[in-house]
Amino acid sequence: MTAITDRQKLAYIAAQAADARVNVELETEGMTLNIGPQHPATHGTLRIIARLDGEQVISADPVMGYMHRGYEKLTEVRTYPQVTTLVNRIDWLGSFANEVPFILAAEQLMDIEAPPRAQWIRTLLFELSRIANIVLFLGDMAVQLGALTPVFFAFRDREHVLNQIESVTGGRFHPNFDRIGGLKDDLPKGWIAETKLAMEKIRNFCDEIESLVMGSEIFEARTRGIGVIPPDVGLQYGLSGANIRASGVDWDLRRDAKVGMVYDELAGKVWTHPDGDSFARFWVRMQETREATKMVEQLCDGLPSGPIMAKVPRIIKVPAGEAYVATENPLGEMGYYIVSKGDLVPFRVKIRSASFNNVSIAPWLLRGVYVPDIITILASLYFILGDIDR
């Protein structure tokens, strides 16, 4: 807490001083700048009311709810298999990853486990949706800073991954493929070889972005030291995923939470960066994409044979109980707190989405920064509005 109050105090004093100076010399006053709801940096409809003093932000107040769809209420009238269709639409860039924690929580309540092959394919698709999601970030971050080219590369190369997801699930964005006790279907023929080729292309894309963006002086100047999040503040706000790892916190649910996926059998490194600034967040995501491509290849090589569906009753009733299961989604920790009363429908589902916590730090983080840095910081926090508004 001390860190916050100090920083708040400093920002307040700076604002006061700036106020006094400006008022005396130029006879100006503070101004309110409305950013959004429609702004490319908001990935949807996030509105930010920034109170400015000159170029400096005195306070920033995110306003959301423009896209609130009430999923927590809707789940209460839908059966468990129907819920996956809804939760697909939370983080629409990595939709398969949204289904997994819900299914795992339901499986924990029912005390069943998916067969090994289903777990492997689940992990495989999970990592593919991570790549599809983060690849877009890598291009998007640059476009926020004024470099147009990388985002076209991102859209081009994301297609390789989406094609692979589509050929398994039938859906590019909303696979709805995960089932309680396993998966809907097995992999199609020839898929593994194609996936490996796609991973090669993604690694090339990462190299391209690295040479295009990360070496650029402008990019460094706009991101280094901008939006620094100290680890303890990040943890207090519940930041997760690459945002907290960029602050030097070594915390990855893939490695640290033992949930029904096969990360134990894979060799993967958890990347962290000590700086905690926008550059670090970009860098960590870049490394994670590379790491994910390697994991996908390991998953392709180690895929066991066997059934893809455990024995589950045709009409699924989940025994009474409570469960919280979270997984390391592309955007960070995504968890479902399910309360069941032994019914066809969940009694209460609390969706703990990553972006909600990741953006809740914005009022603290944006205080005292300059206007162009608002965009850098929001882009580097990387949120999807569907993931905030649910």
Partner 1 sequence: MSSSDATEVAPDEVATPDELRDGLLARLTELCGDAVIASHILPGKDIWVRVRNDAWAEVASTIRLVMGARYFGFVSAIDWMPSPFGRSMDAEVDKIVHGHVPKNVGEQTTGFAGGDTRFQVVCRVANIREHWGITLKADVADDAPSIGTLTKVYAGADWHEREAWEMFGIEFVGHPALRKLYLPGDFEGHPMRKDFPLLARIVKPWPGIVDVEPMPGAGSSDESAEAAEAAEGGEA
Binding site for partner 1 (CB under 8 A): 1-4, 64-65, 68, 70, 72-74, 76-77, 108, 232-233, 235-238, 249, 251, 256-257, 315, 317, 320-324, 326, 333, 335, 337, 339, 341, 343-345, 348, 350, 352, 356-357, 360-361, 364, 389
Distance CA 334, CA 87 (A): 11
Tokens of residue 75, six digits:
């789940």
The CB-of-236 to partner 1 minimum distance in angstroms stands at 5
- Comparing CB distances to partner 1, the nearer of 195 and 357 is 357
Query: Exposed, middle or buried: residue 9 (CB in 10 Å: 0-12, 13-18, 19+)?
Result: exposed
- Comparing CB distances to partner 1, the nearer of 144 and 272 is 272
The CB-of-381 to partner 1 minimum distance in angstroms stands at 14
Q: Which residues pair with 50 in a beta bridge?
A: 33, 60
The CB-of-337 to partner 1 minimum distance in angstroms stands at 7
- φ/ψ region of 146 (left if φ > 0, alpha if ψ in -120 to 50, else beta) reads left
The CB-of-193 to partner 1 minimum distance in angstroms stands at 33
Q: Which residues pair with 351 in a beta bridge?
A: 336
Contact 172, 92 (CB under 8 A): no
Distance CA 256, CA 249 (A): 13
- Comparing CB distances to partner 1, the nearer of 356 and 382 is 356
User: Omega of the bond prior to 37 within 30 degrees of 0, cis?
Assistant: yes
- Comparing CB distances to partner 1, the nearer of 30 and 238 is 238
The CB-of-249 to partner 1 minimum distance in angstroms stands at 7
- Comparing CB distances to partner 1, the nearer of 113 and 159 is 113
The CB-of-35 to partner 1 minimum distance in angstroms stands at 18
Sheet holding 47-53, edge to edge: 31-35, 47-53, 56-63
- Comparing CB distances to partner 1, the nearer of 46 and 161 is 46
Comparing C-alpha atoms, which of 360, 355, 363 is closest to residue 133?
A: 355
The CB-of-232 to partner 1 minimum distance in angstroms stands at 5
Contact 206, 286 (CB under 8 A): yes
- Comparing CB distances to partner 1, the nearer of 108 and 176 is 108
Q: Which residues of 29-66 are buried (b: 16+ CB within 10 A; e: fewer)?
A: ebeeeebbbebebbbbbbbbebbbbbebbbbbebebee
Distance CA 48, CA 365 (A): 13
- Comparing CB distances to partner 1, the nearer of 353 and 376 is 353
The CB-of-234 to partner 1 minimum distance in angstroms stands at 9
